[in-house]
Each structure stands twice: as C-alpha cells, then as structure tokens.
Structure 1
Amino acid sequence: MDSSLNFIYKSKLFKQLIGIIVILIILAIGIPGAFTLFYMTPHLVKERYHQVMLNDVDFLAARLDWNLKKSLNDVDYLSRKIGLSTPQRLKEAGEAIEIFVKGSSIFTGGALTDLQGIVQLFYTSPQGLVELRQTSNISYRDYIQAPLKTNRIYLSDVVLTKTSDASPVIFVSNVVIEGGQTSGVLAMSINLWNSNNIFNSLFQGFQNNKQGNLYVVDGHGTIVYHKDKEMVGKTVAEREILSYIYAQKEGIVDSISTKIGDVCVAFGKLDTNNWVVVYEIPHKDIYAMSRVNMDMTIGTMLLVIALGLLVSVIFAQLIIKPLEEITLATEQVAAGDLNRQINFKGHPDFQRVIQNFNIMTSNLKVQYKELEKLSLKDYLTGLANRRYFEQQFNLELDRACRLEHPSTLLMLDVDNFKIINDKFGHLEGDKALKALAKVLRDSVREMDLPVRFGGEEFLVMLPETSLERGRIVAEKIRERISEIKIISRKGNIMFTVSIGMTSTEQLEGFDGSSLESAGLSLLKQADEALYLAKSKGKNRVETYQLS
C-alpha cells in the first residue's frame, strides 16, 4: 500500500492533476458545470436507461422465443416416435414421455388422447404416470382441437390451473400419426411457475437483478408471467400500454402516466406467438441520481469562462488524448481483436499503462488459442466432441460430394449402460467410456474421426470408406469392445455396444446442394440402424436399410 502511494505522490501526472483540481475548485465549475448538470446529465441518464431497457427486453424476448421454438421442435419429434394403436404402443409412449419430461428443462407433463379427446395416458412431474380411474374427455380444449383441424403443431395461450397456486401453464400439441393415419393428439405442458422450469429460472434470474417491473403479456393484454403471482391472468390496467400491446409494437415509450406516476416502458415482441415482454421503470428511479447531483451543486454557479477553457485545454492535452487512445484500443479488444497493440508515446505514466495493456492482450491471445483447442475435445474421453464433429462433418460431406468418393458413418451406443452406472457407480462407468474411447482410437486410421456425441453415444466418421469396408471396421470395433474387462471392487465390468451404420452411398440425390440436409439425413439413417441393432438383441452391427 505504501509503495503504491509513494508511486502516486511521485507521479508527475498526479502533481499536474492536483494543480488542475485546485484551479477548478477556485474557479468553480461555472457554465459548463451547470449545462452538464441541468441538461447533459438527465439526457445521458435517459439515453442510457433507454438503451439498457431495450437490450433487456430484446434479450429476454429472444431467449423466450428460442425456448418456445425448441419446445415446438421437441413435441414435433416426440409425436412422430409414439403411438397408441395397441397396448404395447401405448406403454412405450408412456415410457417415452416420462424419459422426455425427466430429461427436459422445459416440459412439466404431458397427455396422450385419442381422436375423440379421451385421455389415454397422463404424465405429470414429479408424480409420474397417473393411473386413469375414470374416463376423461378434454376434446373441448383448444390444444386438442387445433392440431386435429389444421394437422399442424400448436402452441396454446396461457391456461390458469385450478390448483391452490393457480400456476400459469401453456401447452404444445401435435397430432400422432400411425400408418399414415392420425390416431390421436400429444399435448405437452409447460408450467411457467415450476421451479425447475427454464422459463421460471430465466424470469427470476432476470427480474432479481433489475430495477422496475418486468412482465410478459399475450396479444390480448392478459398478463402471463409476473413476479407477483396474483397479477397473472389479469389484464394490463393502463390503456396506453394496452394500445402498444394490441398493435404488437416494439421499442420504447419515454413517458406513460400510471397510478404510481410517470413510467418509461420498453416493449419486446416474440416471433413464435403473440407474447410481448414489457419493462417499466418509474421516472423517479431513472432520474434520482441526477436530481441529487443537481441539488448538491446549485451553489457552484459562479465561474470564469476564459480561465475554465484554458484549464480544459490543458486537461485535454494531458489526459483526454491518451485516454481516448486507450479507450479505442480496449473497445477493439472487447470486440475480439486480440492483435491490437498501442504505440502511443505520451506521458511516462501512460506509457507504463500502455505497456501493461500490450502485455495483457498478448497473454489473452495465447490463452484464447488454448481455450479454443480445449473447447473442441470431450473432457472425459479425450475424443473430439460434438461441436468439432459438426464442423468437420460438413467439410467431409463436401469433400465426398466433390470427389464422388464414399464416406461412412458409424453410430455406437453402449448396451445397458445405465445398469453399469447403477451397479458399479458413475466413476466406474466413466472408466468404461474411457476404455471404449481408447478402443476407438486404436481401431481407426489417423484420417478417421472418433467422436463422443453425448452420454454413452459415440460416432466414427470414416472418410474414403465404402459401406462394405465400413462394416469390417464396425465389426472389429464391436469385437474389441466386447473383450474389454475392467476390474472393480464390485466385480469385473464387461459390456458390449450396438452399432448402426450408413454411408453417403445411401443418400438419394446427394449432389452437395444442401450439405446440412444431407448431414441430418445421414445422422437419422445411422440412428435408425442403431435402433434396429438394439431391437435385434444388441451387441451387433446393422446397416441402414433403404426403403
């Protein structure tokens, strides 16, 4: 502390600043000070709050949109995988919904009905599948009627439940198609007040760190989410705010009169549905600090303009110019330009700051490159991760298309991996995954790409490999994995894998015009082949069968 103070006291800049401050105290702030306090400060404060409010509502609306779109995609996917035509299909549907809800941070329950709206299966978290003791007909619900009429996925308005806490719930529903015919409706629920729900976490985390009042309304002006539960389901009272909601406008209104006084209101519209994020901050909160400053500096109105300008020129020469250079450099670094270096030669104290800045950016550049390398590897197995695979997959498909050479994709899944975790523990399960990864590395060429895709699921991309050759590699991998033995205190761990495989040879019309579509098709084919291997008894290799 003493050495830091001595450095400050010996600094030429410090002495010059002391001299300038003494002059400013003697001469007071004057007209520039009054102009700043009475005009500039309130306007700058308002502009800052406006920008922050707009950024906040845009961010929250974007996050809500993303989660709603994800829920639509998830329900569309699940509705294609289940059925209710037979007791077995209905049982499998219940198991699929249970896995879906438990693995989701969005959905809190679900129901499956037949074409007449009779509930065939009902699941709610955390209770699980509910035994249906009597017939329940919900055909009158819009989320049951809408998908049957339009044959499209449907996102409902908010429904207030009849429970004690009257939680707001929305439903995402879609028709279930079996054998080319519509057999029922899948409706998944999202409880906006569920503590484990991502919507609730997003709202609570956002509201807790903000001033003012943040809430969400639908296109009719009904509040669908508010920090005060009693407000949910009520209509917004202020007519001017309602007019903006009805018009689905975005932006900010500087002043609207309410019961609590004038407020500034920002609006952010969602693309997925008719919701609008509304952010209100009272004027008294926005301008509180500027009013305090004005009250404290009323007595500093006497000034000498000429001498004040002279002091400003000196101040600009000593501080503003180097600060401007440093500020510009930091903004460029913040924008991602880590090659930025400052060559400004000025006051010795600033030279020291600039030198440290240049050292800092150089270190950041090295650390960024290291972090970028780490972000492309799976932390447990050391294999490439999903992000790296997605980058390389499109490149490989483009290469295979241009050269008209085959490329094969293997999808592996550990059989009964949950049993290993339950019996031996997750640490031993991790050892099994590491051993599997070693087999993959040892079994493929340097040009091949083994990937941990997620959990106990792995991929192997085999460039310049036909389907026939790929099957030989897949069988070799399967056999080597079946020979793995891990010694554990609870017994030896041995396991097998099921492998599904496909190739660019099986892609119809593969011409490189849509690499993203081709990639998704290959992954889907490999997944279906893997499912076939699982259904045929596991520990086997299956090739995707063209229909």
Structure 2
Amino acid sequence: MGTLASISVMPSKLRYKLLTAFCLMSLVPILVGVYIASLFIKFPFEVNPVNLATISLVVLFSLTLSFLGYQITKQMVSPIASVALQAKNIAAGNLVEEATDVKGSEELEDLSKSLKEISKNARDLLNKVEKLSQKDKLTGLYNAAYIRERLEEEILRSIHYQRPCSFAYFAVDGLSVLALKYGEITAEEAIKSIAGVLNKNLSEFDRAARVAKDDFAIIIADKNKKKAIETVEAIAKEISEFAFIKEEFREAIKLGLFVGISENPIDGITADELYIKATTRARSAMIKGNLIEAFA
C-alpha cells in the first residue's frame, strides 16, 4: 500500500476520462473541418485566395472547438480534484484553518462544505484532547508534566523581565489514613477541597497542579520567597482547618502540610533545579516537622 504522499490528487481513472474527452473533443472538430473542406475545396487543389481563406477558417473553427472542449472538461474536473485534495489533507492530518471553496457543481460544493466541517470538528476535538491531557481528572488542576513545562516558560519570562519567580511543592500528610478509615471517596473529597483552596489563593498568573497522589505544586509568578511564604501560609491555614470525623470514630482526622519553596534565580535557573530544590525542602520539612522550608 502506498503512502499518502504517493497518492495522486487526481485518480488515474478520472485522468483517463479527461484524456478521452479531450481527444473526442479534438477529433470531432477535425472531422467537421474535413467535411466542410470537402464541400468547398475542389480537386485537384487550386491555390487561390478563396481556398486558402476557406482552409484558414476551417482550421480556426476546429481549434476553437478543441479549446472550448478542453475548457468545458477542465471546469468539470477541477472541482473534483479540489475535493480530492481536501480529503487527502484531512486524511494526512493537515487540518487547515481555511480550505478553498469548490465552485462549479452543487453536489461537489456540498461535499466540500462537509469536508471543511469535518476538518473543523476534528481540530476542535484535538484541542479538547490536548487541554484534557494537561489536567488532573479528579481536581481539574494541571498535571506534573504541564507544570514543569510551564515552570520553564515562567522562568524564561522572569529572566527576560528581571522579575522573581517562586515555586512551592506541597506534601500532604494524612490522606492515606483518611482513605483507610473513611474510604477513598472521602479522601478524594479532601483532595478536591485542597485543590479548591489552592485555586482560591492564586493570582491569575499563578498555576497550580496535582503532581502526585498526595502532592501538589504551585508556580507563584512575580513573587520572591518572602511573598511566596505569605501565600503558602494563607493556604496552609485553610487546609489546617479541615477536620474529618464520623460517628463511629471518636477522633477527627486532620491533614498535615509540609511545603518546600524555591526561587529563581537564587535556587536555580531551570525548571528541574527549582523543582528538585522545592521537593527536597518539602521532604526535609516533613522530617523536621516544620510547615515550610525555604532556605535550607
């Protein structure tokens, strides 16, 4: 089977039909010309102005018919070739924004419009899939892959405008205990609540992500560590107020939060450097029992 690149825009059968039609349109005027010449030209042929004029007119008439035949055939085939090209582009994944409108046949115009609609719907679907691939299904936050890519972009932006950029990594403690005692549904509700708190405390330029089962991260744009700590403390205060309890259990389960913060360019100039520094500090905070580690 040939590749898409080897497929001809005009199918071979259609090309043969075009060639046949052109030959027929050429032969007919030639035969007509011979017939007309036989009526007006006497043999033996005499070279005189009348005969030469007659032959010239016959030849001109024949060529005119041939050219008209070619133009008619071209008008018939061009829309088909255009539709074939649109279909080929769609099959190859080339979902162009604007395709050339096909003129000359109502049926082909409808087919062309349908192909354009298919192309538009496919583009919209691909855009939706791309957006979904960047999000965590449970929380609606961005995922780990996106946040690292976005962090790299934010670092470049901050360097260009000579602005700070901070990154905070949140390790949440207690979610596994919550799942064991109250079930996965309750744990998932807690995770969604944490996501809500993160979104609530971020500016329009900040980005939040769920990077692991119990871990979250935020990009805090245009803020140094001091300002980032203020944002993290506001988030931690709300999360610390969460308490989960059921009648069959006497004690409420509260969530612990341990945060590591890094800043560009103090702690690194790449996304990997800031990410590793923040995660290391979050684990260190968990071991030490501190809420935030930003300078160790």
TM-score (norm 2): 0.67
Which structure has more RCO (C-alpha within 8 Å, separation ≥ 6)?
2
Instruction: Identify if the C-alpha distance between structure 1 residues 350 and 488 changes in structure 2 by more than 3 Å, giving closer, same or farther.
Output: farther
For 1:310 and 1:338, the matched residues in 2 are separated by 30
Which has a greater percent of helix? Answer: 2
Tell me if 1:331 matches 2:88: yes
1:474 aligns with 2:236: no
Which residue of the partner structure matches residue 118 of structure 2?
Answer: 360
Query: Would the alpha carbon gap of residues 423 and 477 (structure 1) be closer, same or farther in structure 2, given more than 3 Å must change?
Result: same
CA contact (8 A) 1:332 1:340 kept: no
Q: CA deviation at 1:486?
A: 4.1
Aligned AA for 1:433? I
User: Which structure carries more strand by proportion?
Assistant: 1
CA distance in 2, matches of 1:459, 1:311: 64
For 1:402 and 1:498, the matched residues in 2 are separated by 31
Match of residue 421 from structure 1: 179
Residue in structure 1 matched with residue 20 of structure 2 by the alignment: 313
1-side partners of 2:96 and 2:244: how far apart? 46
8 A contact 2:260–2:279 mirrored in 1:
yes
Where does residue 399 of structure 1 map in the other structure?
A: 157
Q: Which moved more, 1:428-437 or 1:368-377?
A: 368-377
Which segments of 5 or more consecutive residues in structure 2 lack a partner in the other structure?
Answer: 7-15, 23-72
Number of residue pairs aligned between Structure 1 and Structure 2: 232
SS of the residue aligned with 2:211?
strand
Pairing 1:16-165 to 2, within 5 Å after superposition: none
Answer yes or no: is the 8 Å Cα contact 1:428–1:488 preserved in 2.
no
Distance of aligned partners of 1:311 and 1:415 in 2 relative to their CA distance in 1, 3 Å threshold: closer
Q: CA deviation at 1:381?
A: 1.2
**Which residue is 2:217 aligned to?**
459
1:404-446 alpha-carbon deviations (Å, 9 max, x no partner): 3222111001114322222222221111110111111222333
Q: Is the 8 A contact 2:147 2:209 kept in 1?
A: yes
Task: Pick from 504, 523, 544 the counterpart of residue 264 of structure 2.
Answer: 504
2:70 corresponds to: none
Question: 1-side partners of 2:257 and 2:146: how far apart?
Answer: 23
Matched, 1:523 2:283: no
Deviation string, structure 1 residues 450-503 (Cα, Å, up to 9, x no partner): 221232211111122222222232223222211113455765543121111111
Q: How much identity, in percent, do the aligned residues show?
A: 22
Deviates more, 1:480-489 or 1:445-454: 480-489
Amino acid at match of 2:82: E
Offset from partner CA, 1:226-272 (integer Å, 9 cap, x none): xxxxxxxxxxxxxxxxxxxxxxxxxxxxxxxxxxxxxxxxxxxxxxx
Alignment of 1:478-497 (within 5 A): 478-486=236-244, 492-497=252-257
Distance 1:542 1:335, change over 3 A: same
Quote the residue 1:540 is aligned against: 291
- Gapped runs of 5+ residues in structure 1? 1-44, 52-308, 511-517
Q: Which amino acid aligns with 1:328?
A: L
Match of 2:101 in 1: 343
Matched with 1:134 is none
1:393 counterpart letter in structure 2: L
Q: Which amino acid aligns with 2:135?
A: K
Q: Give the 3-state SS of the residue equivalent to 1:410 in structure 2.
A: strand
Corresponding residue SS for 1:418: helix
Query: Where do 1:197-208 residues align within 5 Å?
Result: none
Once the two structures are superposed, what CA deviation does each residue of 1:150-169 show, in whole Å capped at 9, x if it has no partner? Answer: xxxxxxxxxxxxxxxxxxxx
Matched with 2:146 is 388
**Could you tell me how far apart the structure 2 residues matched to 1:482 and 1:364 are?**
45
8 Å Cα contact 1:451/1:458 also seen in 2: yes
Partners of 1:355 and 1:376 lie apart in 2 by 32
